[in-house]
Structure 1
Amino acid sequence: MLGFSVYLNHPFTEASHNYLQQMKQAGFTEVFTSMHIPEDDISQYTTRIQALSTACRQLHLQLMIDIEANSLSTIGLTLDHPEDILAFGITGLRIDYGIDNQTIAKISQHLKIALNASTLSQEDFEALQSANANFSNMEAWHNYYPRNETGLDRKWFLHKNTWLKQNGLTTQAFVPGDGQLRGPLEQGLPTLEAHRYQHPLACALDLLNCQTDKVFIGDHSLASNTLMQFTNFFKNQLLILHVHKTTAWPKYLTTQPFHNRQDVARDVVRLAEGRSLCQTVIQPNQTSERQIGSLTLDNQRYGRYMGELQITKYGLPADPRVNVLGTLITNEHALLPFIQAGQAIQLKEI
């Protein structure tokens, strides 16, 4: 389900190997790289891909390489000998342009092929069928878009993915990173324009709601806190949220996980354990306007609701019965729409 990108513009070092190991431990299973980035020094490709493919093999990570018609010749390989490509440690090829459907069908008998999801047409699909392509070895991968304002439209993307899924293809797309961004533009590498500059986990969850099977990090890396959120969400089904504290709050807020109630509210995330944990009388305090992402605690004025914990999904007015304890960090507001019934949540103070 999860993949990440490693680019060839720097030597593959021990630190690079350690990064692959870290991502593997975090639950990522595939690596993407590209052999036709204009800024790269192609004379370094052979050494760097050999090192990358060796590390991927050692760590049991799949390696997908983005190519065009003449890319493989720079490392002494050819599409006429797919067995040599596999022996090199490359487990799949993403076909960009300049390679005909007959050739694609032929090499699909030997290794995984990622077709260009955005440009694949019904005519291409029928041509591949006629050429006896091995569709069990085929997936549909979308591009990422380095230039601002050029990413895909979400509605069009969902429509395209629906068609691809109806034809039995696994779908893939990219989300931007929030650690080291890839140059020269450093504006993120999302598939959808709406995801540019957004929280990567929120983007990933949005892609999964758009008939996307595989989510890859387009940029060089994720921030450490974001990687922790990915790990906890996909391995432990636990959503980590970071809160700026604005007033005193009960110690139990950060010592245990909470859960969104099964009956999902429209305006707020209701943390089911709140009232049962409340052992003291909650005095009114900081009963200010509730901005989006506010963490709130109902005080004694709310009667039997005293102790109720909520996170606001939208801006709400001040209520003398509701104390505002703090607010989610701004970029995590985008995670709020994806908190489903029963979702486990861990609060961390910033």
Structure 2
Amino acid sequence: MSLTQKALIVSELGKPVTLVSDWPIPEPGTDQVQVKVTVAGLNPHDEKSRDWGLFILRDLSPVTKDFPDDADLPSVLTNDVVGRITKLGPGVTDLEVGDRIVYQPSFAPGSKQNGLQEYAIAELGALAKIPDSITDDEAATLPTNIIPPLVALFDTLQIPAPWLPAAKDFDYANTTILVVGGGSNCGQFGVQLAKLANVGRIIVVGGDQTKLKSFGATHVIDRHAGYDTILAKIRDIVGDDLVYAYDAISPPDGQLLALNALSSSKKGALARLIPLGKVDESKVLGKGAGFDVRDVFGSSQAHPKLAAEFWSRVPYYLETGQIKPQDYVVKKGLSADSVNEVLDAYKEGKRVTKTHIHL
């Protein structure tokens, strides 16, 4: 095998990705495998990586649009990857060369795991074998969009994951969760995970009612109904009992909806995916028992025990339909133009269907 490969790289922040043919082929270390990439899925954060260094800059506090010198450049993008195993690293015993896997790369700057290269590295605890009944593209809809709600529900909000011993004593049937952003992939997977845990009431703001109810939502509220109307509808359903809320899409101002829907007499918590600043707590009214705003980092590597337990169950969940893949479109070939077109659309705020690059 050659020592180099084709890859699409970010060589300068704020500039288009470019194709190179001399990118080093990474070798697997302990508890890792080398993968010949078949699908690399693009997501909104990839545009932020290309344009201002998210997950490329070594120091992201505070995040700015200045382009400092502490970036790991050049760098490869994408954290949804499917491929076939080509080499096993030391310590890998339950996988074989030729196995088809889906995995979530590390978000660490300089990662050798990202998908826009012909060969990449995957690590145990952040991958799953793909069942024969599931296509590469279906599997590739999972990593970036299912791990954040997994962390939000079963770590950030501290609802016991259904496979844990604590699940035996947790009253899922009488538990309610509010999901804001039901039209997003992270929102839809959040609904599916809540249903997987048999949460009794799953109230969703936004998204297609038929689809969300097929995923397990018990109530779906039109996000265009207006703030006061939406809040009133939530409170009509939950009364003063809501203590779990998950917001998949909103900046801080939009997070006020979920916070004001929380109970006044019981301490509640909001798990948010977009931690772009503090919430104006003066606009959160009547919370006599207090509330928490908790940030979510949807990384398998940052939550190794939870992620490993989940990824080990993913083949079964996919085969039984308890986890349903999301929508996607395909662009064929390792083309800089194709990738930049999608990332530019994210940058311009256009509606983008999740796009998979077929290498």
- Give the shorter-chain TM-score range: under 0.3
Q: Which has the larger radius of gyration?
A: 1
Greater relative contact order (Cα < 8 A, sep 6+): 2
Q: TM-score, normalised by structure 2?
A: 0.25
Q: TM-score, normalised by structure 1?
A: 0.26
